[in-house]
Amino acid sequence: MGQRTPLYDLHLALGAKMVDFGGWDMPLHYGSQVEEHHQVRRDCGVFDVSHMTVIDVTGPQAKEWLQHLLANDVGRLHGCGHALYSAMLNERGGVVDDMIVYRTETGYRLVVNAATRDQDMAWMQAQLGEYQAQLRERPELAMLAIQGPQARHKIAELVTQSRGALIHQLKPFEGQADGDWFIARTGYTGEDGLEIVLPADQAPGFFNDLVGAGISPIGLGARDTLRLEAGMNLYGQDIHQDVSPLAANMAWSIAWEPAERNFIGRAALEAEQAAGVQFKLVGLVLEERGVLRAHQVVRIANVGEGEITSGSFSPTLSKSIALARVPKATADRAEVEIRGKWYPVRVVKPTFVRHGKTLI
């Protein structure tokens, strides 16, 4: 038996198919995974993401420590509520984990992946050294993601007046507290929406309110196809400790300035750049029948080979799509080996759908 979120019994009552995900018993779907996907793209749906790890960082040197720990620079967070996406790197420049960091009134809030919780906590504690900063994990909190073009409008109608006003005021990549709730305009689907951190004992009632208001519960299956269409990396597949952000379409999340900020992994990234980055993360589109899956070989004529890191059928595009790490010289055509046969694929920018619009 895996770990369970505060919503476990509700998932069962709603008919969810439960699966193990990073040691947690989580809903894969509640019926039709494809319909759940479409529901988020066209309207909105609610995900239980209470398995994610919430960590608050405080102390007089919290900022300095995070500037050392992360490839992005929390010095860019000029006001309370501002957020950024960053990777936490090892000395080789590999991704220990990726996360969202929010600036709060008392310091910073990190939201990191569930499956990497133990390695993340151990790594962060090991990097504290002499920094005057404290880490506080928040297992007493739950987290819901309400995603889709109608998400903010519908949620604002269901919460208190002050929370509704906050939802309307939030800009993308902002998060603010209202009482014991923390409401952020972030997500993992490529759609507008919210992620709400709230006390665990309040989560079942709020989840019930959402479902009662006609907001569909959405499982991990649709969450994966939504993030894949949006070109968002999944830790353990598209990124891991042996892959640098330069080879994972994450160069934009590295803050090179100020030059004197010596974040962990900086020297390795600079050496990789100087030598010439060998691989890049691209999108693939299969125009024929078939399904692209992780670890399938990608062959590029006169260039070399790569590998699919994530692949699936895209409900929005009605085609199979994938993210793949391929040689830097790869152009717009390649082939993928599926069950011993080679299929032509189109190479595109690794974002297929964003805000309901097809980008390929």
Angle of CA points 41, 355, 87, to nearest 5°? 105
Query: What Å distances lie between residue 294 and 233, 236, 237, 244, CA to CA?
Result: 13, 11, 8, 19
Q: Which two tokens stand for residue 231?
A: 């070109």
Cis-peptide, bond into residue 60, ω within 30° of zero: no
Burial of 357 (0-12, 13-18, 19+ CB in 10 A): exposed
Rounded Cα distance, 95 and 249, in Å: 12
Residue with tokens 């969202």: 100
Query: What Å distances lie between residue 181 and 46, 186, 320, CA to CA?
Result: 17, 15, 39
Is 195 among the annotated ligand-binding positions? Answer: yes
Instruction: State the distance between the two ends of the chain, measured CA to CA, in whole angstroms.
Output: 42
User: For residue 171, what is the DSSP state?
Assistant: P
Rounded Cα distance, 251 and 316, in Å: 27
**The dihedral formed by the CA atoms of 260, 175, 108 and 124, expressed in degrees to the nearest 10:** -80
Per the annotation, where are the binding residues for substrate? 195
Per the annotation, where are the binding residues? 195
